[in-house]
Chains A and B, each alone.
Chain A
């Protein structure tokens, strides 16, 4: 019994109420392995370590089955908007 991407997504949605979430299955067939980008107001005022702990805690059950979890981004909506604007700018510059 493995963990699916959908299970990971629904647990994170239920517990962290994200405004944006992206889960990438990185297992390549060797077992449950995911990369996560998550944007949530609940990260406000929290250090990165604390944010990652919140994600880990939200996935406490799934972690028993997950082989590898990579939290690529755990940002607030404000940080997310800034990052989006910056990447748009650099896209425009390189175009």
Chain B
């Protein structure tokens, strides 16, 4: 596949590297944790709140370049996107399933103690 243009510039990539490594839990979402603007994003916000996990949110609706670049960075086509301990954890469905199985709590606890 030949890609003629990429939204993921080297600058954006290094910015994203910094954002996800300087916060234990980062959620790239539609809206903010105070005002989610999509049901899927809201679901993940509510899950993180219910687990009392401190987390940062970044509103991808405010920056189209960020939105496109992140899809490449994560190799994930949709939002929300949850990062834990510098690693992509998943989107909404994966987060729900991991929440139900208890795996999310384990991963979060591990991240908080590391």
Chains A and B bind each other: yes
Using a CB–CB distance below 8 Å, which chain A residues touch chain B? 48-49, 52-53, 56, 60, 63, 68-72
Chain B, residues 24-36, CB within 8 Å of chain A (1/0): the string is 0000000000000
Provide the main secondary structure of the chain A interface. helix
Min CB gap A7→B, angstroms? 16
User: Does B97 lie at the interface of the complex (its beta carbon under 8 Å from any beta carbon of A)?
Assistant: yes
B40 and A53: CB pair below 8 A? no
Q: Is the CB of A69 within 8 A of B90?
A: no
**Do the beta carbons of A71 and B93 come within 8 Å of each other?**
yes
Q: Mostly helix, strand, loop or mixed at chain B's interface?
A: mixed
Contact with A along B70-83 (1 / 0, CB 8 A): 00000111100000
**A52 and B93 within 8 A (CB):** yes
Point out residues on B near A: beta carbons under 8 Å: 40, 75-78, 88-94, 97-98
Contacts of A69 in B (CB 8 A): 77-78
Are A53 and B93 in contact, CB atoms less than 8 angstroms apart?
no
Whole-angstrom CA separation of A70 from B89 in the bound complex: 16
Sample 17 A-B pairs with CB under 8 A, ordered by A number: A48-B90, A48-B94, A48-B97, A48-B98, A49-B88, A49-B90, A52-B91, A52-B94, A53-B75, A56-B77, A56-B78, A60-B77, A63-B78, A69-B78, A70-B40, A70-B93, A72-B93
